[in-house]
Structure 1
Amino acid sequence: MKEKFNEKVIPVILKFINTKGIQSIKNGMVTSMSPLIIGSIFLILSNFPVKAVVDVLESTGIKAVLDQACGATFSISAMIAVIGISYSYAKLENQEPLNCAIISLASFLILMPSSITTESGEVVTGIINKTWTAGQGMIGAIIVGLIVPLVYCWFLKKNIRIKMPAGVPEGVTNAFSALIPAFVILTGTAVIHGICSIGFNTTGMEIIYKVVQTPLQKMTDSLGGAVLMCFTGPFLWFFGVHGSTVVGGIMT
């Protein structure tokens, strides 16, 4: 039994684990660990379980400061993920990763809702809604973080780029090399946003949330979903992938 498992199962799993997509998700999700750990401290202090302490924090203005720090860590986890995943993917493809990460972030923001409706019915536009830069936009961040570098690296590997003469600084060369793939990617993302917005009165991120992320989250309400999460984390960890980070980011 052990020999069959080693010969038949492990090679298949390792092949899947070692794909650029899974490796990029693993590395990208881990990049959010530091701000989330630090942010958890601010979150605990801001929501201290003793009302008298919370009252003092509110009256002195300290709670607002803690909430600001928490919002700049916990509430941008999806943005960190899309940057980390795309950066890691481009790096694995031996392409310049920073421009790829910036393009991915821009694509992620294009697909997000850019307005909110207040309680009075007023529509406020031109904003970055932190609801979608946190857990609610995580699946969208993973999808964008994989598709954008895939297209970006295809252009560069096919040498479809603006070439600069020798002697031009590396930063300038990289910026111009990324210009054509950036134009195609961002234009394509804008077209997708236009179709969703004009045709369906929604956004790409909202569609992903309703169609993909919400069903995944509902799985955790069942016994099977809870067992699956408990099993998948240690199982992936056994093969070198921080499964709790990957699965937890998707399901929560």
Structure 2
Amino acid sequence: MNKVFQKIVAFTQTRYMRIMTNGFMSIAAVSIAGSIFTLIKSLPIGAWQNFLTASGLSEILSIPVSITSELMAIYVVLAMAFQVAKEFKKDGLTASVIALGAFMILTPFTAVVYNADYTVATPVSNVIPVSSMGAQGIFLAIITGIVASRLYIFFLDKGWTIKMPDSVPESVSKMFEMMIPGGLTFLIFLAVRWGFSLTSFNTAQAFIYAILQGPLVSIGGGFWGLFAYLVVAKLLWCFGIHGGMVAYSAMATIMGTVMAANAAAFAAGTAVPYPEWAFNAMLMDAHVLPLCLIMLVFAKSKQYKTLSKIALPTSLFNISEPLVFGLPIVMNPIMAIPFVLTQIFNVVSTILVTNIGLLAAPTGAGINNMIPLPILGALLNSHWSGFVWALIIIAVDALIWLPFFRVQDKKALEEELKLETKEA
């Protein structure tokens, strides 16, 4: 089993997996900035929502949400190209600009405009459809960012550049240096665009979405994708592997796509297309606070009484590391069982009560997961049921943790008594 996990970790540390992971992490600030306005807009207070609608502030607050969700492909292509250049020790800004140009070359310049009642569709030329810049374009953005940047670097390394005299200012010299590598990269992507125009797909975006993004998201964007992401992450943690990072590396492209689609739906005021993933922020570390509360109330050993007090502030904000390493849960078969069981219960039960209508569906708002659990639950679906369900999760998770923690605490207490006897 350890060999399997070692291979998984080794795969996530390969050059291009590392580039994709770091690329998505580097644009997290954009999502967080958008989530601040999402949080303000989605506060589940009736009077506040009525005020936003009546004053027109609701539409204004939707703008930052839209420029993060509906333009996510642009951020992705820039981030991927920059990380490739960084990996090969080249200028990241230039590579990012070239990659963005290559992405725009592949972007269709036509859109469909509907009349007021959506009965007549009229094709319009020389426009860039916003849909190409959002969730639908993320997979193409990843591929283009990596390939375009790598091509540019390849041409640079071959020395296919215009060399200027040393007397020429560096800024001017760099401009001429990038002309041939950049031009050749554009030429290749222009040929790709022309090639796709001869097929039934017509555009690279349509091809990627139909062949790759659509099928992957349809599988990973539902319940089983979320289940695998969360449960596998916890299993890896049990063996001392940073499960969140490994699982994120494997699912980053799918997660980026579904989260962007959910955020766009929230901004438009429509139902989220991937409701399971909309609960990810709450489900990721929902079992941390229950464990800390169990320790705080029931611990008899000195070490766990102390640990519970130290970990309580971080546990309130769903930060698990103090308990994962302090208890520890890592390489601890006793605590590993409830660590995984609580995650399974939280995922399955949350989706179940949502599907049968006991829990209001999530809005798709991108809420930061470092918010106390009951409040986070209410913000995710802008409904009191989110608050109540978070309390139920805390109670049930605590019951699951309790018998296992008693065994762990008993062992710790016995060791403390033996140590005290020996010292006496």
TM-score by length of 2: 0.52
| Count of matched residue pairs | 247
Q: Counterpart in 2 of 1:136?
A: 136
Deviations 1:126-160 (A, max 9, x none): 33323222222111111111111211111111111
* Residue 149 (1) aligns with residue 153 (2): no
TM-score by length of 1: 0.84
CA contact (8 A) 2:20 2:249 kept: no
Q: Counterpart in 2 of 1:113?
A: 108
Give the distance between the partners of 1:98 and 1:128, measured in 2 at CA: 24
Distance change in 2, residues 1:23/1:230 (3 Å): same
Match of 2:70, SS?
helix
Deviations 1:183-242 (A, max 9, x none): 111122122212223443621011101100111112126665444333565659728946
User: How much does 1:51 deviate?
Assistant: 5.9
Give the distance between the partners of 2:194 and 2:54, measured in 1 at CA: 45
Q: Counterpart in 2 of 1:244?
A: 248
Q: Counterpart in 2 of 1:71?
A: 66
Give the distance between the partners of 2:221 and 2:103, measured in 1 at CA: 28
Distance change in 2, residues 1:176/1:232 (3 Å): farther
CA contact (8 A) 2:12 2:246 kept: no
CA contact (8 A) 2:71 2:134 kept: yes
CA contact (8 A) 1:96 1:174 kept: no
Distance change in 2, residues 1:66/1:110 (3 Å): same
Give the distance between the partners of 1:192 and 1:245, measured in 2 at CA: 28
CA contact (8 A) 1:161 1:179 kept: yes
Give the distance between the partners of 1:96 and 1:35, measured in 2 at CA: 22
Give the distance between the partners of 1:88 and 1:206, measured in 2 at CA: 26
Q: Counterpart in 1 of 2:388?
A: none
From the CA coordinates, give the structure whose radius of gyration is larger: 2
User: How much does 1:81 deviate?
Assistant: 1.3
CA contact (8 A) 2:21 2:252 kept: no
CA contact (8 A) 1:219 1:226 kept: no
CA contact (8 A) 2:71 2:130 kept: yes
Give the distance between the partners of 2:141 and 2:195, measured in 1 at CA: 19
Q: Counterpart in 1 of 2:164?
A: 164
CA contact (8 A) 1:233 1:247 kept: no
Give the distance between the partners of 2:243 and 2:108, measured in 1 at CA: 38
Q: Counterpart in 1 of 2:281?
A: none
Match of 1:91, SS?
helix
Bigger CA drift: 224-233 or 70-79?
A: 224-233
Q: Which amino acid aligns with 2:111?
A: I
Give the distance between the partners of 2:14 and 2:172, measured in 1 at CA: 31
CA contact (8 A) 1:35 1:74 kept: no
RMSD: 2.8
What does 1:52-131 correspond to in 2, within 5 Å?
53-120=48-115, 121-131=121-131
Give the distance between the partners of 1:18 and 1:169, measured in 2 at CA: 39
Distance change in 2, residues 1:125/1:65 (3 Å): farther
Bigger CA drift: 158-167 or 36-45?
A: 36-45
Structure 1 residues not aligned, in runs of 5+: none
